Amino acid sequence: MNGWIILDKPLGLGSTQAVGAVKRVCREAGLGKVKVGHGGTLDPLASGVLPIALGEATKLCGRMLDASKIYAFTIAFGTETDGLDAEGEVVASSDVRPTLAEVEAVLPRFTGAIEQVPPAYSAIKIDGQRAYDLARKGEAVEMKARSVTIFSLRHAGLDPASMAAPAEWTPDQVRGDEDEEERLDSITLVAHVSKGTYIRSLARDIAHAVGTVGHVTMLRRTKAGPFDLEQAISLDKLNAFGQGAAQSEVILPLEAGLVDIPALNLSPEAAGAIRQGRVWTGVATDDGLYWGRDDQNRPIALIEALAGTLKVVRGFNL
């Protein structure tokens, strides 16, 4: 069993629990023991796209972790918490509320390459210990700034694409569309970000930039790498697979995780060499990363082309 299950992770479920649920369902479906991994942690307080790899697709989890992602998130103005989310303890407050125009005016500051200080409640290791473990013990945690890239950042408005699967959304989370001078208690934004970006830190910094404080009350990932909400399934649909639902309704092929890489058709001789991990020469193609496929369109390997020579980056045993 090789491929992807794209889960629309609900609130309250951790990524490790989601992987466990997939393993259980695969056993119930009679698939036996299947290697399972996820392509990017999603906190229990966040919902949305969680790519889960099966079998040989787990070899692509590293690429998925490095991929850019899109989030919709709501900033509640007026209070900042120690965890920068709705579960944290309030550590600062302000009576200042910005207008939509004021928020939009500062968004360009947070677009492009920026320096960002991660939350103290994060999985980053400090002297071998997770920052959140130190923070929970009440120890002072000094987080160092890191470079991340915000490819785009905008007000969500009532854009249907950013409002997909809106079960946990409420009308006041998109206030400010009719009257730009209205003082906002909260606002929902959409951000396309590089790996390593903390949305909670982004929300904190945006609130500071408009002269107030804030924290995240809603966080939903709408895209991770090549996967988006249109491909995501609910827990109910996942569980239905364990009860006999068609595999095609739940599992995407391995190559679904490679759509952002060009495919390279390999001759039978080249495919045989690549399967064995050997270098293959004399190929007329541009330099770069490809996924090689045989004459039956099966993925053989991730391959690097350089000056007409193909070298295996990651092989697939299909």
Residue pair 117/201 in contact (Cβ under 8 Å)? The answer is yes
Question: 178-185 long-range contacts, Cβ below 8 Å, gap at least 24?
Answer: 180/99, 180/100, 180/101, 181/99, 181/101, 182/99, 182/100, 183/97, 183/98, 183/99, 184/77, 184/97, 184/98, 184/99, 184/100, 184/103, 185/76, 185/77, 185/78, 185/97
The residue with tokens 């992987």 is: 19
- The C-alpha angle with vertex 50 and arms to 314 and 298, in degrees rounded to 5, equals 35
43 is catalytic: yes
Q: Fill in the DSSP letter of residue 233.
A: B
Q: How far apart are CA 139 and CA 218, in angstroms?
A: 27
Angle at 31 between CA 27 and CA 32, to 5 degrees: 65
Annotated catalytic residue within 43, 85, 205, 294:
43
Taking alpha carbons only, the member of 180, 150, 154, 156 closest to residue 169 is 156
- Within the chain, where are the H helices? 15-28, 61-66, 100-106, 131-136, 199-209, 235-242, 268-275
Q: Please give the positions annotated as active site.
A: 43
